[in-house]
Chain A
Amino acid sequence: MKHVLKYIALATVVVAAASSCEKFLDRPAKDSYNAQNFYQDEQQCIQGVNYLYNSPWYDFIRGFYRVGECFSGNYYMGDSPYLQFVLNGSNDELRDMSSSLWAVNAHSTTVYNRLKEAQGVNQATVDMCMGEALTWKAFAYFFLVRSFGDVPIIHDMSALIGDNSYNDVYKAPKADVYNYIVMLLDEAMKLLPKKVANKDGRIDYYAAEALLAKVYLQKAGVSGTLNQEDLDKAAAYAKDVIENSGRVLMENYSDIFRMQNNKNIECLISWHWDASAQPWTAQNSFQSDLGMNGFDEFGDVWGQWNGPSIALQDQFGVSALDSPDSRSDTDTRRKATMMLAGDVYDYFWTTNGGFDYLRFFYDPDYGPSGTTNASDGAMNSPTGAACVKFLYGDGEDHKAALGVSAGRMAYGLSTHILRLADIYLVYCEAKLHGPGSSTSDALALQCYNDVRNRAIPGTYSEKTVITFDEVFKERNLELALEGDRWYDYVRVGYYNPDYCVADIQAQRRNAYNGGLDDLYFAYYESGTWGDVSAITYDSEKAIPSANAIKTYLGAMPFPSEDVVYNPHLNEDAQPFDLSTIAF
């Protein structure tokens, strides 16, 4: 036996020595593609850009909502520093937001550079994919500059790593960042196909052009006074999108936000999530933060202590204290934006015959997808209202619309971040000249009236002149809770911060002092609306100071960690030489 073992050992040695060492050690990962053998055909090019529509954006979800909607006063979120203007650079959501936006920039750049090297693939497809990558890069920068003001321009990370200069960059002034975004979009539009009446959910020429129009409008006042040239360009690009893209407003406002219409004729740019959460970050998770506890059957909803603000209710001319039986409520967007007592939604909980806001709290036999009630048995929203936009419903709704099940914090509802109605109002604003101005431009009137006609079908009387105040308010009614409102204030704040201060200080940003749940429960049980005189608005909390508002309008605190690496980030921005940018 001993001898046998010896020979086995000897034999193995001989075999091992015979095979070459280099071959033995060459073990690249083989269970997936690698960057060298990818981007070889049209399908791979498209697959290589698809993820820019979801995963890198995932960690932005919370900041997107807090910046866009809490700062602007549309969404009540308790002691959130975003609501109270006490945000610091160490805030978790702010840091995640910054990481996510910079990751989008890095990924878009990487994809763009790889595609540039793609050989032997249909050039039109490669161009399309490169154009999509550049548009996403531009959109990430658009969020960055509107949120943080001056930020570094990182055109290509690999160049900075190559020459070891990644810690030497300076912040670039806002105006330069806007011009850089314009360059990105100009280049993207050269590459992207003009798809008329596009409904495939991908970015095309008109989507990039629509973003460009919005960028021009945003940058028009960045110097401190409105630049007519920028306004004209915004109007011209918007006009081209409105007239030639083949996109139209969807007939029914609330349909825009349904999963069945993840890809629709009104949308220009959207995040397209996947419910599988493969990997984590591939999915939409908005409902978990925004919905009421127990709204779906996955035990993953915790937003009941927050809700659409009283300020937003005021904008719509409704109140959580009004009886649903006598509420004057002509604007259909109100119900598609926020739930109030008495509301029933036919598109949520479809297998339950629809979602009834009050029954959800008080009927023990009423639960998502036909399960038992998992609400807290009480209406906890401090403003009386609950969010509607960005909610998908329950598991059965998800299956019916997308054919696959939702999961915990994972659903496939697309998030539309640029849509035609926005561009309609961009055009209107571009035809105006800041607060106090008005216009009778025919197309502006048509855009404004189209938006309102859809919102208030049948009863709306068309305008023949529109003022800045009307357009500014209309943007909020149309786009409320879609993550955009704060940037309206930022835009106007560039050249007229006092207008924003007055508007924000007049908002009712706080909550009611309690009593709503008793009112609603009594109404649900008896059908009579009780006395609301004892339900008071919390007026004790301070109104944000003008200084605070102006500070955040200028720029949110840039997440502070990076100063460790790059002390220049604490210094003033330095003009960026845009002629060094090459594509």
Chain B
Amino acid sequence: MKNYSIINPVAMAMLEKINLKRQKLNGNIFSDLTLPFFRDLTWHAELDYDLSYSAAETFNPSVSLGSYQRAANEVRDQKNNSIYWALKNYLTYSHTFGKHSITAMVGQEMWASKWDYMSVYNTALPSNEVVNPYLGTGTPTIGYGFGDSAMASFFTRETYNYDNRYIGTYTFRYDGSSNFGPNKRWAPFHSVAVAWRFTNEKFFSESARRVLSDGKLRFGWGQTGNSSIGSYKWGTSMTKVATGLGTGYRQANMPNPNVMWEKQEQFNVGLDLNFFNNRLGLVVEWYNKTSKDMLMPLQLPTYMGTSGNGSSALASPWGNYGTIRNTGWEFTLTAHPVETKNFHWSTEGQLSLNKNKLVALAGTASAAIVGYGQWNDVVSVSNVGESLYSFYGYVTDGIYQSIEEVMAGPVMENMKNSTVDADGVAHPSQNPADYNQYNTTWIGDLRFKDLDGDGKITEADRTNIGSPMPKFTFGWNNTFTYKNWDLTIFLNGSYGNKVLNYLNMRVGNMKSPWANQPTSVLNRTKLAVIDSEKVYDGTNNVWNWFEDPSNVKIANPGATLPRATTGDPNDNDRLSDRYIEDGSYLRIKNITLGYTFPKKWLEKVKIENLRVQVNIQNLLTFTRYTGYDPEIGASTASVNVMGLDNGRYPSPTTYSFGVNVTF
């Protein structure tokens, strides 16, 4: 038998069965009771519930597809149950006397949720027809677990309004969560908001009101809490581990009995203005949002044993380890520039500027928040005092054009092309025979910048190579109507953010002749012979021109991509600014053109309303980004990572046509 076949992926996808059945029952009962003897007081009582049940089955049948086979079929059945209920009670008192109106509310709220699951796995069922793990002849495994969590709160809110001119609100909550240990369960949260509608003041004349029809100044300060870290981080469970010596148990995490509520404090000032009878509106808002005692796992170096595979490492303790501040401005302008009998144009523009900063972090001076790429490769580092999530890598400095340039250094971290002087310092070897295309830095490789000036390229030469945070983002929506036609165009975009083209780093590294590469590698640096007549006899293991540094030149000196090399001794594909791109874009997010048929035509055919419309989403994107889509946002795979493009599914351009009929 001499054959070779590749598994048909369609066949594989069709053969394997993944079923998920979900059942859900939810609802609520409430009553609002106005007490007969005290009309201003109402009592609201409410019970919410949510019961859900799911059953999942995966079945991989035994198959024989050419040279691929799975002799034993596999089945896994899993059943999940969960029950959630919440109870709310609050009393509201409201009263108006003269120009004063007040409300006061006091209440209580609690919820609890319980879950359990059960899964059974078995292999080697007698046939692919009857799928029941009970029939399997392999070694069955059982999974079973349960848990619960709960929260309880007390709260009150008071509002005061004088003549729609002075408005004030005070809120207080006292929250308790089962996610925290006995001594840190409860935390208080306050907030205050006041507003002044100055256009209602007497000094504001009628004529002034014709220009500025409505004006309000707002001011707010408030605290909110965050407890979402999952249950029992304050203690540590023992996880069962099967071993060759019998059952084992391991401690899954380092506990922190003092983990507590994260507090977010926000301070904001806003100004709402409406001009010319609401023809023109402007909202300006400034905010300063500080997250204190931020909940996160302690950022520890590998030697503490907390890195790598989650099912074998010792998880780092969760706690309140950082302070982050976001400050920013938001501007919203709305206008109706044209309003005639047949033609209307309304427009709304939004501009947001946000800056964030890591204010403090527990631990030592060099503490940092680190974000990882696909596995445990560091892609972002946030140092105290700096903006968050900046990419962290090497800075490139062109391509080595000749062996003389290579010999001018710097030396690669592992010193493959170095000699060590008597003083113990590594220098690049000045003997061309010490260089070769397989094991050392070579003509056509990237030159990296030696930022710390020690003559070597080491980890210390990594630096901040760009921020995924935009300088500003914007949106602009326009609606035009002409008689029965309407047209909506929405544009949005972002400016000044960098994207890490991680996909390109993984597939465009030119390290394997067997793997697909993006076409951009066609513009790589290509090496060419200088003197094709030169004869080689194998001295110094040099048999060909491409092994002789003095006979190699670059065929396309302007190229910015390095040479292709399978071993990549220079580590050309390390994370460097080579993969950082400008992620600014302007996108025509949405265009809708509609036509509503005149009523009088429709009456004859007994149709109440008929509208046809064409809609295009993501029609055009203006960007210099070379990947699929610059709109990336936060990583779904890793916390502390933004703007990393690991083959994120791009926003599709969608054309749709719709007819709306109402009879």
Contact with A103, one of B67, B240, B246, B312 (Cβ below 8 angstroms): B312
Contact A521 B2, beta carbon cutoff 8 Å: yes
Cβ of B443 under 8 Å from chain A? no
Cβ of B661 under 8 Å from chain A? no
Q: How many angstroms between the C-alpha atoms of A33 and B299 in the bound complex?
A: 27
Interface residues of B in 65-90 (CB under 8 A from A): 67-72, 87, 89
Contact B29 A9, beta carbon cutoff 8 Å: yes
Q: How many angstroms between the C-alpha atoms of A431 and B261 in the bound complex?
A: 63
Q: How many angstroms between the C-alpha atoms of A266 and B294 in the bound complex?
A: 53
Among residues of B, the one whose C-beta sits closest to the C-beta of A92 is B375
Q: A25-B176, A27-B231, A35-B236 are in contact. Are A273 and B244 (CB under 8 A)?
A: yes
Q: How many angstroms between the C-alpha atoms of A271 and B71 in the bound complex?
A: 28
Q: How many angstroms between the C-alpha atoms of A566 and B238 in the bound complex?
A: 31
Contact A297 B71, beta carbon cutoff 8 Å: yes
Contact B112 A9, beta carbon cutoff 8 Å: no
Contact B235 A34, beta carbon cutoff 8 Å: yes
Contact B413 A164, beta carbon cutoff 8 Å: no
Chain A residues, Cβ within 8 Å of B67: 293-294, 373-377
Among residues of A, the one whose C-beta sits closest to the C-beta of B380 is A564
Cβ of A535 under 8 Å from chain B? no
Cβ of B647 under 8 Å from chain A? no
Interface residues of A in 273-319 (CB under 8 A from B): 273-282, 293-294, 297-299
Smallest CB–CB gap between A303 and chain B, Å? 15
Chain A residues, Cβ within 8 Å of B182: 22, 26
Contact B249 A378, beta carbon cutoff 8 Å: no
Among residues of B, the one whose C-beta sits closest to the C-beta of A151 is B303
Cβ of B529 under 8 Å from chain A? no
Contact B311 A281, beta carbon cutoff 8 Å: yes
Chain-A contact segment, one of B155-163, B331-339, B396-404, B563-571: B563-571
Contact B249 A33, beta carbon cutoff 8 Å: yes
Smallest CB–CB gap between A42 and chain B, Å? 13
Contact B571 A31, beta carbon cutoff 8 Å: no
Contact A26 B254, beta carbon cutoff 8 Å: no
Contact A557 B3, beta carbon cutoff 8 Å: no
Contact A95 B70, beta carbon cutoff 8 Å: no
Cβ of B320 under 8 Å from chain A? no
Chain A residues, Cβ within 8 Å of B309: 58-59, 96, 99-100, 103, 280-281
Cβ of A458 under 8 Å from chain B? no
Contact with A along B343-363 (1 / 0, CB 8 A): 000000000000000000011
Chain-B contact segment, one of A49-57, A117-125, A476-484, A495-503: A49-57
Q: A12-B87, A24-B152 are in contact. Are A167 and B2 (CB under 8 A)?
A: no
Q: How many angstroms between the C-alpha atoms of A33 and B512 in the bound complex?
A: 48
Q: How many angstroms between the C-alpha atoms of A86 and B88 in the bound complex?
A: 65
Cβ of B139 under 8 Å from chain A? yes
Contact with B249, one of A38, A363, A375, A544 (Cβ below 8 angstroms): A38
Contact A565 B305, beta carbon cutoff 8 Å: no
Smallest CB–CB gap between A95 and chain B, Å? 5
Cβ of B323 under 8 Å from chain A? no
Interface residues of B in 288-313 (CB under 8 A from A): 298-309, 311-313
Q: How many angstroms between the C-alpha atoms of A86 and B442 in the bound complex?
A: 13
Chain-A contact segment, one of B142-150, B274-282, B473-481: B142-150
Interface residues of B in 429-487 (CB under 8 A from A): 429, 434, 436-440, 458-460, 462
Contact with B459, one of A105, A160, A563 (Cβ below 8 angstroms): A563
Smallest CB–CB gap between B413 and chain A, Å? 6
Contact A377 B4, beta carbon cutoff 8 Å: yes
Contact with A96, one of B146, B308, B362, B368 (Cβ below 8 angstroms): B308
Contact A278 B31, beta carbon cutoff 8 Å: no
Q: How many angstroms between the C-alpha atoms of A360 and B347 in the bound complex?
A: 73
Q: How many angstroms between the C-alpha atoms of A106 and B429 in the bound complex?
A: 41
Q: How many angstroms between the C-alpha atoms of A65 and B32 in the bound complex?
A: 70
| Interface hub of B138, B243, B299, B417 (most chain A Cβ within 10 A) | B243
Interface residues of A in 383-431 (CB under 8 A from B): 395, 404-405, 407, 412, 414
Among residues of A, the one whose C-beta sits closest to the C-beta of B376 is A95
Cβ of B626 under 8 Å from chain A? no
Contact with B568, one of A13, A86, A557 (Cβ below 8 angstroms): A86
Q: A26-B178, A30-B146, A372-B69 are in contact. Are A404 and B241 (CB under 8 A)?
A: no
Cβ of B229 under 8 Å from chain A? no
Contact B305 A103, beta carbon cutoff 8 Å: yes
Cβ of A36 under 8 Å from chain B? yes
Contact B241 A545, beta carbon cutoff 8 Å: no
Interface residues of A in 320-377 (CB under 8 A from B): 361-364, 367-369, 371-377
Q: How many angstroms between the C-alpha atoms of A364 and B182 in the bound complex?
A: 66
Cβ of A528 under 8 Å from chain B? no
Contact B243 A54, beta carbon cutoff 8 Å: yes
Smallest CB–CB gap between B501 and chain A, Å? 17
Chain A residues, Cβ within 8 Å of B574: 88, 90
Cβ of A79 under 8 Å from chain B? yes
Interface residues of A in 181-235 (CB under 8 A from B): 201-202
Contact B370 A561, beta carbon cutoff 8 Å: yes
Cβ of B264 under 8 Å from chain A? no
Interface residues of A in 39-96 (CB under 8 A from B): 44, 46-51, 53-59, 79, 81, 84-90, 92, 95-96
Q: How many angstroms between the C-alpha atoms of A539 and B440 in the bound complex?
A: 18
Smallest CB–CB gap between B258 and chain A, Å? 12
Cβ of A454 under 8 Å from chain B? no
Contact A152 B439, beta carbon cutoff 8 Å: no
Contact B243 A274, beta carbon cutoff 8 Å: yes
Among residues of A, the one whose C-beta sits closest to the C-beta of B415 is A551
Cβ of B550 under 8 Å from chain A? no
Q: How many angstroms between the C-alpha atoms of A35 and B251 in the bound complex?
A: 7
Among residues of B, the one whose C-beta sits closest to the C-beta of A96 is B308
Chain A residues, Cβ within 8 Å of B217: none
Q: How many angstroms between the C-alpha atoms of A369 and B137 in the bound complex?
A: 14
Cβ of A240 under 8 Å from chain B? no
Contact with B301, one of A92, A166, A297, A414 (Cβ below 8 angstroms): A166
Chain A residues, Cβ within 8 Å of B112: 24
Interface residues of A in 536-583 (CB under 8 A from B): 539-545, 547-548, 551-552, 557, 559-567, 569-570
Smallest CB–CB gap between A288 and chain B, Å? 14
Cβ of A534 under 8 Å from chain B? no
Chain A residues, Cβ within 8 Å of B381: 564
Q: How many angstroms between the C-alpha atoms of A488 and B543 in the bound complex?
A: 33
Smallest CB–CB gap between A51 and chain B, Å? 4
Q: How many angstroms between the C-alpha atoms of A114 and B236 in the bound complex?
A: 12
Chain A residues, Cβ within 8 Å of B144: 31
Contact B571 A47, beta carbon cutoff 8 Å: no
Contact with A157, one of B2, B178, B304, B544 (Cβ below 8 angstroms): B304
Q: How many angstroms between the C-alpha atoms of A544 and B45 in the bound complex?
A: 79
Chain A residues, Cβ within 8 Å of B569: 84, 86
Q: A282-B243, A412-B244 are in contact. Are A565 and B299 (CB under 8 A)?
A: yes
Contact B543 A540, beta carbon cutoff 8 Å: yes
Smallest CB–CB gap between B230 and chain A, Å? 10
Cβ of B239 under 8 Å from chain A? yes
Smallest CB–CB gap between A538 and chain B, Å? 12
Q: How many angstroms between the C-alpha atoms of A552 and B110 in the bound complex?
A: 61
Contact B413 A50, beta carbon cutoff 8 Å: no
Chain B residues, Cβ within 8 Å of A412: 244
Contact A562 B301, beta carbon cutoff 8 Å: yes
Cβ of B638 under 8 Å from chain A? no
Contact with A570, one of B439, B460, B541 (Cβ below 8 angstroms): B460
Question: Closest 8 interchain pairs by CB?
Answer: A106-B305, A99-B308, A272-B244, A50-B248, A297-B71, A51-B248, A274-B242, A9-B45
Give 7 CB contacts A-B under 8 Å.
A35-B236, A44-B249, A84-B567, A99-B309, A154-B305, A274-B244, A565-B299
B contact residues vs A (CB 8 Å cutoff): 1-4, 29-31, 33, 45-47, 64, 67-72, 87, 89, 110, 112, 123-124, 138-139, 141, 144-152, 176-178, 182, 185, 231-232, 235-251, 254-255, 298-309, 311-314, 317, 362-368, 370, 375-378, 381, 392, 413-419, 429, 434, 436-440, 458-460, 462, 511-512, 541, 543-544, 547, 566-569, 571, 574-575
Other contacts beyond A278-B242, A414-B244: 4, CB < 8 A: A31-B144, A51-B241, A107-B314, A539-B541
